[in-house]
Amino acid sequence: MKTHNILSVIFLTVSFSVFGQEHPNTIKKISVHDIYIQTGFLSERNTNLTLADFKTLVPQSVLLKNNLTDFSQSGGFGLTSNTMFSVMLGIKFSDKQKTTYKANPLLRLGVSYFSGTTWAESLYKEERTPYDTLTSTQTGQTIYVDSVTTENYSMNYSSEQLLFYGSLIFRTNPEARWSIFTGIGITAGFSVIANTDIYYNNFGRTETHYPNDNTFFSSYYSSSYNSKTEKHRNKNNFGASTFIPMGIDFRIGKENEFWKQIHLFYELRTGINITSVPELRTITNTNIQHGLGLKVSWN
């Protein structure tokens, strides 16, 4: 009888001990909740390199060894646009008690590919000489015809870049059908291809001028056109940027559980880009990125 009572006490003690030590379920500190796929365009302010820069980039160029002292610069302010593609993961953080995940902030990590950063320089020279003088037998009006020869050199440095992406995002209610977001982000990476292209062409034409009128007519010599091209490979460069993302998010589904996980979004990023070119120097310019994307979310 005593043995039976002792075993009963031990069983009850162990049972209360086990159940008494049971804790509520906790979650991980961070967890992946979204995947983003985005495509769009990156537009940046033109960076006009000098002739000396291109001679440094491609000292082996045959075309740039020509005498270019009489040529004028034809480049100016402008924007270039190239395609971009990004794949990102959305990571949420838990609260202090590790019982639920917070809506803000959201950490996005991924990779981006840009089809090209382009810097250019253009030079031209025009030579004009009298070609002929025509006099009308009916009106006596004199018409002047000039022979014009034009030479152009175009130089382009371009690179395709693979960048690692990170941003901290703050959103309005992500459970709503529509939401907006903003934040701050950075990228850093390197070029996978870097090239310098040199183009040369010259052509001749005649210009007919009427002295009492501002109009004239040009006629090109098809046989006089001449062109040459050089393509040179450069060392890979390093790129980095900081930007401010802003966008709008639309949840496709309202009732269906599958479509409620699918989102469409538009995002605009304004930032500052830094590129370190091994043959030259570090170059800074501004850029604008914008594009459409697809997001898949899960709890």
Q: What integer pLDDT is reported at residue 73 of this predicted model?
A: 85
Percentage of the chain lying above the pLDDT 70 cut: 82
pLDDT tier at 74 (50, 70, 90 boundaries)? confident
Give the model's pLDDT for residue 212. 64
Of 215 and 37, which is predicted with more confidence?
A: 37
pLDDT score at 5: 53
> What was the pLDDT predicted at 84?
92
Q: How far is CA 101 from the centre of its chain?
A: 32
Tokens of 39: 């495509």
Give the gyration radius of the chain's Cα atoms: 33
Q: Where is average pLDDT lowest: 95-109, 119-133, 200-214?
A: 200-214
User: 22: pLDDT confidence band, cut at 50, 70 and 90?
Assistant: very low
Nearest to 75 by CA among 50, 57, 58: 50
Q: Kindly report each contact of residues 24-30 with a partner whose C-beta sits within 8 Å and lies 24 or more positions away, as own/partner.
A: 24/99, 26/97, 26/98, 26/99, 27/94, 27/98, 27/99, 27/100, 27/101, 28/94, 28/98, 29/93, 29/94, 29/98, 30/91, 30/92, 30/93, 30/94, 30/107
- Domain residue spans of the chain: 26-297
Whether the pLDDT of residue 293 is over 70: the answer is yes
Cβ neighbours of residue 189 under 8 Å, at least 6 residues apart?
Answer: 111, 112, 161, 162, 163, 164, 238, 239, 240
6-20, 72-86, 104-118, 207-221: least confidently modelled range: 6-20
- Per mean pLDDT, which range of 23-27, 86-90, 144-148, 278-282 is the poorest? 23-27
| pLDDT tier at 215, thresholds 50, 70, 90 | low
Average pLDDT of span 156-174: 94
Query: Given a cut of 90, is residue 79 above it in pLDDT?
Result: no
Tokens 């059908």 label which residue?
177
On the question of pLDDT at 231 being above 90, the answer is yes
Three-class HEC string of the chain: CHHHHHHHHHHHHHHHHHHHCCCCCCCCCEEEEEEEEEEEEEEEECCECCHHHHHHHCCCCCHHHCCCCCCEECCCCCEEEEEEEEEEEEEEEECCCCCCECCCCEEEEEEEEEEEEEEEEEEEEEEEEEEEEEECCCCCCEEEEEEEEEEEEEEEEEEEEEEEEEEEEEECCCCCCEEEEEEEEEEEEEEEEEEEEEEEEEEEEEEEECCCCCCEEEEECHHHCEEEEEEEECCCCEEEEEEEEEEEEEECCCCCHHHHCEEEEEEEEEEEEEEECCCCCEEEEEEEEEEEEEEEECC
In terms of average pLDDT, the best of 139-153, 195-209, 214-228, 245-259 is: 245-259
For 206-217, the three-class secondary structure string (H helix, E strand, C coil) is EEEECCCCCCEE
Average pLDDT across the chain, whole number: 84
- Is residue 209 pLDDT above 80, yes or no? no
The bridge status of strand 30-45 relative to strand 262-276 is: unpaired
Task: Give the residue-averaged pLDDT of 265-279.
Answer: 94
The per-residue pLDDT for 190 is: 93
Rounded CA gap, 42 and 83, in Å? 6
- pTM equals 0.76
Position 235 scores a pLDDT of 95
State mean pLDDT over 187-205: 91
pLDDT tens-digit series, residues 25-50 = 788 999 999 999 999 998 887 777 89
Model confidence band, residue 16 (pLDDT cutoffs 50, 70, 90): very low
Distance CA 277, CA 259 (A): 46
Q: Which of the pair, 10 or 295, is modelled with greater confidence?
A: 295
